[in-house]
Amino acid sequence: MRISDMSERLEAVIGSHYSASWRKDMVLPDLGCTVDAAIVDGVEAAVIWRAVCNFVEVPSSLR
């Protein structure tokens, strides 16, 4: 999974107006950091996406 794919899925789940602030402010328990921090740290997009899915309700079509 590419970062751009994950970002598109996140926008579909969170909403395009809120996803940018959610990415920088919401600490994901599975990662211990935010989505943006995980990206900077070099965490794979698929790992970040699994952490998002564990934290919020994501439709099966987007998993």
pLDDT tens track of the chain, all 63 residues? 899 999 999 999 999 999 999 999 999 999 999 999 999 999 999 999 999 999 998 878 878
Q: Domain limits of the chain?
A: 3-57
Instruction: Estimate the share of the chain in helix, then strand, then coil, as percent rounded to the nearest 5.
Output: 60, 5, 35
**Whole-prediction pTM:** 0.88
Q: What residues have CB less than 8 Å from 38, skipping those under 6 apart?
A: 28, 31, 47, 48, 51
